[in-house]
Amino acid sequence: MTDTTDDIAEEISFQSFEDDCKLLGNLLHDVLQREVGSQFMAKIERIRLLAQSASNMRLSGIEDMAELLEKQLASEISEMTLEEALKLARAFSHYLTLMGVAETYHRVRMGRSATHLSKSCDDMFSQLIQGGVTPNELYHTVCKQEVEIVLTAHPTQINRRTLQYKHIRIAHLLEYNDRSDLAHEDREMLIEDLVREITSIWQTDELRRHKPTPVDEARAGLNIVEQSLWKAVPHYLRRVSNALKKHTGKPLPLTCTPIKFGSWMGGDRDGNPNVTAKVTRDVSLLSRWMAIDLYIREIDSLRFELSMNQCNDRLSRLAQEILEKETLSENLHDNRNQPLSRSLFKHHGLQAPPLPTQLPDRADLPACTVYNDGGGSQYPKLELPGTDYMPLARENGWGKSNSENSSKGLSLNIPKASENGSSANSNGSTTVVTPRGSFSSSHLLAQRKLFAESTIGRSSFHKLLEPSSSLRPGIAPYRIILGDVKEKLMKTRRRLEILLEDLPCEYDPWDYYETKDQLLEPLLICYESLQSCGAGILADGRLADLIRRVSTFGMVLMKLDLRQESGRHAETLDAITRYLDMGTYSEWDEEKKVEFLTKELKGKRPLVPSTIEVAPDIKEVLNTFSVAAELGSDSLGAYVISMASNASDVLAVELLQKDARLAVSGELGRPCPGGTLRVVPLFETVKDLREAGSVIRKLLSIDWYREHIIKNHNGHQEVMVGYSDSGKDAGRFTAAWELYKAQGDVVAACNEFGIKVTLFHGRGGSIGRGGGPTYLAIQSQPPGSVMGTLRSTEQGEMVQAKFGLPQTAIRQLEIYTTAVLLATLRPPQPPREQKWCNLMEEISKISCQKYRSTVYENPEFLAYFHEATPQAELGFLNIGSRPTRRKATTGIGHLRAIPWVFAWTQTRFVLPAWLGVGAGLKGVCEKGHTEDLKAMYKEWPFFQSTVDLIEMVLGKADIPIAKHYDEVLVSESRQELGAELRRELMLTGKYVLVVSEHEKLSENNRSLRRLIESRLSYLNPMNMLQVEVLRRLRRDEDNNKLRDALLITINGIAAGMRNTG
């Protein structure tokens, strides 16, 4: 029932999964008996049994009886009071969510118990070696692989973060329940824990009452790193390394990172006015603060582990230098501040305090168990992840989310976020950022004095706990090195706190870490020393894991991409050229724009005068480029241009970036930190996809640009392709074909100029927005488009589904690695003959015509869409910081792709994923090409995956439910349009089965079909209840309780469908 991890759906064995569902269902039933009473529980059970009976009848082909039962079900729901409807919605919504938790954990269980896990590194390396790939070729390809997973804040995550943590807790309890050695008393306590969690969930408001700010969204992304990826990455890299050693004789190099992470949370300003330059700066610093804080925790654990004295000469000399430096520093301190110095201990004959006696959390555990939440066994601790740290958002702390209190995260007490959503929280940044706050000199001195006084107590207390190394001559040399590392990390963290307070920062660059190489240096010295002294077993434990974390996450955890729409850059250049009396930039033709931009890029002077006065929206664009210059490529990733269509769109960003770097460099009196950002055009409409290759050729034919790519980006051009808007523009089938062709054309264009290319895939969670199983998606790319490099977005609810638990995250990381490896060494087959491409063109043409004639050209469709779906009400969910429309219009053109898909998913019609496909396949089959299509399905991976994904969607669609929405909510004059669309859905199913030669939908994925069927007795009543609530709400729009009931049904249906938009 899920688009998230169907990669291993075939591995599901249902007995234990059904046992978990039964356990959770019974416990929820017991909780509800206590919470809502037995009388109402009898009504809930009657609704469930009616739905179950109707579903069974329909699955058995007894349509008439099924229809009678469904009418009875709808009638009883329509007679419910508002209070009863609200309780029913909540009960069924929570049950569907608990089934999802059980399914997620069961995938973990099956992955752990499988003797042979398909698509794992061991499995894929073995296949490639047996297929003729040499061990050396395999080794070097894996080591050179560059995959980046980019987490985005797209508003598709329904569940509040509070509830997400409770669901994780339940998954851990289910895992604990699998233990065979549990005593009867232990199992009873476990059941009590489950009851407590379910009771807590029931008594928690499941709705967000306020929209999240961009900083809230960024914090949620950082929580995913802390709760899961931080633990998963070392374990994943061990799997890669062990498999490499097994099949090639050589382990993965310690600092090699086949996968890294990026983020759009706090950087994606496309159509989101809430993401400002200040938000981007604060989020970047916040990410750095979190990185430093996590490293400090790891260093604490490592210091206790590395207690040995034997070391090599290099480490011994370094330890001695640190002791001498500390002795000198303390002598100076004694002279300047005798009352606070350690000489007090000597004067009074006191002994200096020993090393801290309390071990840090998990310091006593072997490193290999950390990914599993600690514990000496494979079973997780029965604690919510992160409860050993202070909560991220606190009533009187910094950065409290308007919508959510996190149960985990940073423990720093910094003032609250500002009203515009930027957090005053600290993050681990090491770049040099010039504070822009406007303070008087006296105010600055006062602030500095207050901050200094606030740290005296903390610093003195820390000194009491950890006296100088010079007074402990017997201390292990590794602890001296790591103590120095910790001290420097703490200074780095304090510096970031100052920057986030907009206070002047006077730290000496030698006192803090600015790059990951600086942090890696002492760690690698320790590693080499242990190896040379025969303690390799220790070196390859917690220390190796920390080195791998530093190599993967760097100093920022996830580099932040910036994204802005191309029109905003054109408006900014309009303001500049008009100010300089050069005319209006946007009125020039493409050639004149390119000539002007290239000339300015070759120059050495700034284009934008410092005295320029512009409108606030233009100033915000310029401020963003200034922040990008201040932070640089050490903190930021790519600058993505949405709606890119011309070479000038890329050159415009290059010019604005160059100009900002010149200005900021002048202010700083030194070069900007890091390098220039990669500028990445995003082609997303069908028209732009068709021109993508030509745009790249035009860019690379410009000498300045080509030399810039070679010099500053290692001869690498990145190009992003968008799945969401292309699908909304022309339909899923046409979008898939145009994306396939565009990627091939972009690769060919780069090859012509000897430039390497990385394709960045803007995939959504649902099939209608390019989603689907990761492995299938990568394996169906055009040959040559995945040559060891790939970037891909993971959005909204997919982030939690794929990476919310360490075990599922490890599995996903392996799947990314092996899929990219296979596509690189054994590229997918191209179409066997040109005729196949011609047939694709024909299907695409018919499909697009049918889609656009329905969605954009039928004057009744827009009204039908608003009546038949809850699209208008989705905005009340408060699941994202950005508006649902790019512009204030009512048409579908400016509606974002997410609410477009989300609305149709709610009604179980999932129209965006299949509309037009049936017409296209029918048109080609009727011309006598049925056998050709069957051959294409069997032999062409791209065509097969396209058809399989559509078949998967059709398995989720439900015609009787969609019909019920129409009958109750749609005006009589538009009823025929709904009937016509349902006929089109049936036609699509018919021809998909003809091409795939399956007897019924989802025949090749029985597990998926069974998961769908298992939810129908809860999902169908939720849809009927939503229809009834929508009917009432549209007559009483100001009824907040009705609105709450609707939003809860939306949550429940999303949980049942396992995806939203």
Q: Is 728 a catalytic residue?
A: yes
Q: Considering only CA atoms, which of 152, 406, 411, 394 is closest in space to residue 266? A: 152
Query: What count of other Cβ atoms lies within 10 Å of the Cβ of residue 1025?
Result: 28
Question: Which strand (E) or helix (H) includes residue 792?
Answer: strand 789-795
Angstrom CA distances, 523 to 235, 538, 540, stand at 19, 13, 12
Q: Is 235 a catalytic residue?
A: no
Provide the H-helix boundaries in 684-731. 686-700, 703-712, 724-730
8 A C-beta contact, residue 1016 and residue 66 = no
Among residues 87, 106, 154, 964, the one annotated as catalytic is: 154
Secondary structure of residue 680 in the 3-state scheme: strand
Show contacts of 710-713: CB within 8 Å, 24+ apart: 710/755, 712/675, 712/676, 713/678
Q: Which amino acid belongs to residue 420?
A: N
- Enter the tokens of residue 782: 């055009």
8 A C-beta contact, residue 525 and residue 481 = yes
Q: Which residues neighbour 962 within 8 Å (Cβ) at sequence distance 6 or greater? A: 907, 908, 909, 978, 982, 985
Q: Roughly what angle, to the nearest 10 degrees, separates helices 184-202 and 161-177?
A: 160
Burial tier of 613 (Cβ tally within 10 Å: 0-12, 13-18, 19+)? exposed
8 A C-beta contact, residue 152 and residue 851 = no
CA–CA gap between residue 976 and residue 476 (Å, rounded): 82
Among residues 728, 922, 956, 964, the one annotated as catalytic is: 728
- Enter the tokens of residue 548: 């791998």
721: which strand partners?
A: 683, 761
CA–CA gap between residue 45 and residue 31 (Å, rounded): 14
Secondary structure of residue 37 in the 3-state scheme: coil
The sign of the dihedral angle between the CA atoms of 916, 918, 923, 929 is positive
8 A C-beta contact, residue 736 and residue 686 = no
Angstrom CA distances, 496 to 300, 492, 625, stand at 20, 6, 21
CA–CA gap between residue 590 and residue 399 (Å, rounded): 45
Measured in degrees and rounded to the nearest 5, phi and psi for residue 641 equal -105, 105
Secondary structure of residue 139 in the 3-state scheme: helix
Measured in degrees and rounded to the nearest 5, phi and psi for residue 896 equal -65, 155
- Enter the tokens of residue 699: 């860019």
Query: What count of other Cβ atoms lies within 10 Å of the Cβ of residue 455?
Result: 13
CA–CA gap between residue 517 and residue 554 (Å, rounded): 9
Q: List the beta strands (DSSP E) in 408-467.
A: none
Q: Considering only CA atoms, which of 583, 311, 353 is closest in space to residue 465? A: 353
CA–CA gap between residue 1002 and residue 1008 (Å, rounded): 7
8 A C-beta contact, residue 199 and residue 31 = yes
Q: Considering only CA atoms, which of 326, 304, 500, 525 is closest in space to residue 416? A: 500
Show contacts of 366-371: CB within 8 Å, 24+ apart: 366/541, 366/542, 367/234, 367/541, 367/542, 367/544, 367/545, 368/235, 368/238, 368/541, 370/231, 370/234, 370/542, 370/545, 371/231, 371/232, 371/234, 371/235, 371/806, 371/807, 371/810
Catalytically annotated residues: 154, 728
